[in-house]
Chains A and B, each alone.
Chain A
Amino acid sequence: MKLVKVFKGVCPKCGSPLTVEEVPGVKEVRCPRCNFSIDPSGFTIDVVVRLGDCEIRDWERFGQLSSTNQERVLQALESGLAPRELYPLLLKLKEMGVLICT
Chain B
Amino acid sequence: MYLEFRSVLKYFRDYVEASGGISEVKKGFDWSVWYAAKWWLEIHSAGAVNLKKPFVKALYLSLLAMRIIDEDGNIHKEVKKPELPKGLYAREWVEMHQLFDELGAVKVARDEVDRNSLDLLFSDIQVMGWHRLMVNAFLNAFGESDGHAVLEPFSREGHLAQLYLESYKPAAYLGYDPNPSLVEVAKQVVPNATFVAAPSACQLSGQFDVVLLVEKLQWMADPVRELDCISKLLKPGGKLYVAQPVADSTPGYLAILTAMGAQHVYTWTEVEQLIGIRFALEKRLVKTIPFYVAIFAKPHPRPARETLR
Those of B126-184 within 8 Å (CB) of chain A: 126-129, 132, 157-159, 162
CA of A92 to CA of B102 in the docked complex: distance in angstroms? 19
Tell whether, in the assembled complex, residue B189 and residue A87 are in contact, meaning their CB atoms are under 8 Å apart.
Answer: yes
Q: Please tell me if B205 contacts chain A, counting CB pairs below 8 Å.
A: no
Instruction: Decide: A69 and B128 in contact? CB cutoff 8 A.
Output: yes
CA distance A68 to B131 in the complex (A): 13
B95 contacts chain A at the CB level, 8 A cutoff = yes
Q: Which residues of B contact A89 (CB under 8 A)?
A: 120, 123-124, 126-127
> Of all chain A residues, which has the CB nearest B126?
A88
A sample of 7 more A-B contacts (CB under 8 A), given A61-B120, A65-B120, A85-B126, is: A3-B188, A3-B189, A64-B121, A69-B124, A85-B162, A88-B157, A92-B116
Task: Write out the residue numbers on chain A whose beta carbons fall within 8 Å of the beta carbon of B127.
Answer: 69, 72, 85-86, 89
Whether a CB of chain A sits under 8 angstroms from the CB of B117 is yes
Q: Give chain B residues whose Cβ lies under 8 Å from the Cβ of A66.
A: 92, 95-96, 99, 124, 128
Are A64 and B189 in touch, CB under 8 angstroms? no
Give the distance in Å from the alpha carbon of A84 to the alpha carbon of B188 in the complex. Answer: 9
Contacts of B185 in A (CB 8 A): 87-88, 91
* Known pairs A3-B188, A84-B189, A85-B162; A92 contacts B123 (CB<8 A): yes
**A68–B129 CB distance below 8 A:** yes
Per the bound structure, the CA–CA distance linking A15 and B5 in Å amounts to 48
Q: Of all chain B residues, which has the CB nearest A3?
A: B188
Q: Which range contains the number of A residues in contact with the other chain? A: 20 to 34
A68 contact from B119, B120, B128, Cβ within 8 A: B128
List of A residues within 8 angstroms of B206 by Cβ: none
Interface of A, helix, strand, loop or mixed by DSSP: helix
Q: Is the pair A85, B159 in contact by a Cβ cutoff of 8 Å?
A: yes
Question: Once the chains bind, are B123 and A84 in contact (CB under 8 Å)?
Answer: no
List, in ascending order, chain A residues with CB within 8 A of B47's CB. none
- Quick check: is A67 within 8 A (CB to CB) of the other chain? yes
Give Cα distance in the complex from A5 to B188, angstroms: 11
A93 interface residue per 8 A CB criterion = yes
| B301 on the A face (CB < 8 A) | no
Interface size on B, residues (CB 8 A): 27
Which chain B positions have C-beta within 8 A of A3?
A: 188-189, 191
- Would you call B96 and A88 a contact (CB within 8 A)? no
Give Cα distance in the complex from A72 to B99, angstroms.
Answer: 17
Task: Confirm or deny: A14 has a beta carbon within 8 angstroms of a beta carbon on chain B.
Answer: no
A96 contacts B by Cβ under 8 Å: yes
Query: B190 — which chain A residues lie within 8 A by C-beta?
Result: 47
Highest count of chain A CB atoms <10 Å: which of B102, B116, B123: B123
A69 to B124, CA, bound (A): 7
On whether the beta carbons of B188 and A87 are closer than 8 Å, the reply is: yes
Instruction: Return A19 CB to nearest CB of chain B, in Å.
Output: 17
Complex contacts, A86 vs chain B, CB 8 Å:
127
6 A-B interface contacts by CB (under 8 A): A3-B188, A61-B120, A87-B189, A88-B157, A89-B123, A91-B185
- Mask, B46-75, CB within 8 Å of A = 1, is 000000000000000000000000000000
Closest A residue by C-beta to B121: A64
Q: Within the complex, which residue of A45, A64, A67 is in contact with B120, where a contact is CB–CB below 8 Å?
A: A64
Nearest chain B residue, comparing its CB with the CB of A2: B188
Interface string of B99-133 (1 = CB under 8 A from A): 10010000000000000110111011011110010
